[in-house]
Chains A and B, each alone.
Chain A
Amino acid sequence: MASPMNSPGVPSGLGENVLLTKLDDVANWARANSLWPMPFATACCGIELMATASSRFDLSRFGAEVMRFTPRQCDLMIVAGRVVMKMLPVLQRIWLQMPEPKWCISMGACACSGGVFDTYAVVQGVDRFLPVDIYVPGCPPRPEQLIQAVLDLQSRIKSGGTFTGKEFSLRILPEGPPRFEPDEIQRFQDRNELDLKRPTYTPEH
């Protein structure tokens, strides 16, 4: 922000009370310092999320302590815990109901990758089906890690955000890993007894 103290045309005596800045910067400053999280806490990571918000760790020092249990009043989705296939449509619906601009933190090994729950019912990472901005590793992550994630998100909003949110409209491709891992594709082939093996190359001499 530049001080226009010495600009011509500014009445003397007003100079020190005027700041010039960009609209984007003002919007980013306001957004980054008042994040309203939506606590999507489905498992044990949710306990750590509660600890983060309570007095010992005190997320409110960074302006992100007002958790609302309706998506209409939130702009930061914190997915804390494993998401099963019956819960994923709910998660997607809540995400779509949150007003713009909005961000998503995937907290814990389970939300990021399925964790140890590599079973038929557990979604192997919410980033396969949702756009995730910050990942927090750990099982469960320490509250300090979640606070760090919020700080990272704040610096990200401050550095790249725009007033109209046009940085979101550029993200038109899925950002997560592909739906199927190579070993899963292999198992489908085995189950269907497809013979898609490569022909072996035998040199002629």
Chain B
Amino acid sequence: MKELPAEIDYWLRSKLPAAQVSSSSFRGQSRVCVDRPNIWESLRALRDDAGFDMLFELTAVDYLEYEGARDRFGIVYGLLSIDTGKRLIVKTFVNEPDLVLPTVTDLWKSADWMEREVYDMFGIVFTGHPNLKRLLLPTEFTSFPLRKDYPVKGRGERHNFPIITRAES
């Protein structure tokens, strides 16, 4: 039997001939990279035809100044097949001017809050999401703090409050 990523790679290529697919494996973790226009179709095919019926993770990575990286943001989908117990990491990449991806809330309901968190922290917009607003940070926050070009200590947001003196309280 072939290794899982190679198998999935072959299978995805035959399903979606237009997609650019690459695969790798690291310490027993199977990873498949798909290009952005075909990500929704690939995930749908993986869910309906390959049995990956659970999305256990959706997150993003900022590859700014990362050695050997060609794209700015990587979006990571973690899929699990409940029947076989196999796990698969699917990745896609987006770049700075249009940080837009199709939502996968129509495939997995669990993507709802995870996509909101990715939007909150990285500013990646998921089109078609039912309620794309900030999840963790206050609504008046304006930057996306997990981007690598955002300073760790912030831009003064943590100091932007009224001071209550003892006499007026």
Q: Which A residues form the contact surface with B (CB < 8 A)?
A: 85-86, 88-89, 92, 95-96, 102, 118-124, 128-131, 168-176, 179-180, 184, 187-188, 191
Contact = CB atoms under 8 A, between A and B. Distances in A.
B169 A120 contact: no
A96 B145 CA distance: 31
A130 B145 CA distance: 26
B157 A85 contact: yes
A169 B156 contact: no
A160 B75 CA distance: 60
Interface of B: 137-138, 145, 150-169
Tell me what chain B mostly uses at the interface: helix, strand, loop, or mixed. Answer: loop
B168 to A, nearest CB: 8
B164 A92 contact: yes
B156 A174 contact: no
A168 B161 contact: no
B157 A187 contact: no
Contacts of A128: 159, 163
B166 to A, nearest CB: 4
B167 A188 contact: no
Nearest to B168: A172
A119 B153 contact: yes
Contacts of B154: 119-121
Given A119-B153, A120-B157, A187-B153, A170 B164 contact: no
Contact of B164 (A85, A95, A122): A95
B161 A129 contact: yes
B146 to A, nearest CB: 10
15 contacts: A85-B158, A85-B161, A120-B153, A120-B154, A121-B137, A123-B158, A124-B158, A128-B159, A129-B163, A130-B164, A131-B165, A172-B168, A173-B165, A175-B166, A188-B155
Contact of B137 (A86, A92, A174, A176): A86
Nearest to A130: B164
A95 B163 CA distance: 12
In the A-B complex, the 6 residue pairs with the closest CB atoms: A120-B154, A171-B166, A131-B166, A179-B159, A172-B167, A174-B163
Given A128-B163, A131-B164, 20 more contacts: A89-B161, A92-B161, A96-B169, A119-B153, A120-B145, A120-B151, A120-B158, A121-B145, A123-B161, A128-B159, A131-B165, A168-B167, A170-B167, A171-B167, A172-B166, A174-B163, A174-B165, A176-B163, A180-B159, A188-B155
